[in-house]
Every structure is written in C-alpha cells, then in structure tokens.
Amino acid sequence: MRLVVDLNRCQGYAQCAFLAPDVFAMHGEEALLYRPEADEAQRGRLAQAAAACPVQAIVVDAVDAPAEAASGER
C-alpha cells in the first residue's frame, strides 16, 4: 500500500503522527517525515490518520499487482 503526503499542504498539526506513529513522525515542529510504503495491516490506522488531517494532505492508495500477474494468465 502506498501513501502520499502533500508536504506543501501539510501544516504540521501532527494528527497523523499521533494516530499512526509507525508511519508518520514530526521532525522538529513543522517537518513531517513518513514512510511512503506501508503494510496492508496498517490500513485502518492510515485511513484514520488521513481522515484526521485538518488540511486533507494525506492520500492512501493501494498498490495492486497487474491483473495479468495476479490471475496467472498470459
């Protein structure tokens, strides 16, 4: 699963770091650090973190394998 944070929009409220500290962390008072790739098991926390962002700077996007590889067909 992939996530993207619009760092130009982020205002450093740190709600995401509070809700998903394994993925998000504040560096200083304003700079957000995050892991762009996350485990599927963290989907619930990441959805909560994205919803809690006051400026909606977080997008959680599942990365799917190509249909051909997933189905085993050629």
Give the residue extent of every domain in the chain: 2-71
pLDDT tens-digit series, residues 10-46: 999 999 999 999 999 999 887 999 999 999 899 999 9
- Report the share of the chain in percent with pLDDT over 90: 72
Residue 24 in tokens? 């998000």
Q: Please report the pLDDT score of residue 62 as a whole number.
A: 58
Structural contact between residues 1 and 39, judged by C-beta atoms closer than 8 angstroms: yes
Q: Is 15 exposed, middle or buried (0-12, 13-18, 19+ CB in 10 A)?
A: middle
Q: Please report the pLDDT score of residue 61 as a whole number.
A: 85
Out of 3.30.70.20, 3.10.450.50, 3.40.50.720, 3.40.50.300, select the CATH number for domain 2-71. 3.30.70.20
The yes-or-no verdict on residue 64 having pLDDT over 70 is: no
Mean pLDDT of all residues in the chain? 86
Tell me the C-alpha distance between 34 and 1, whole Å: 13
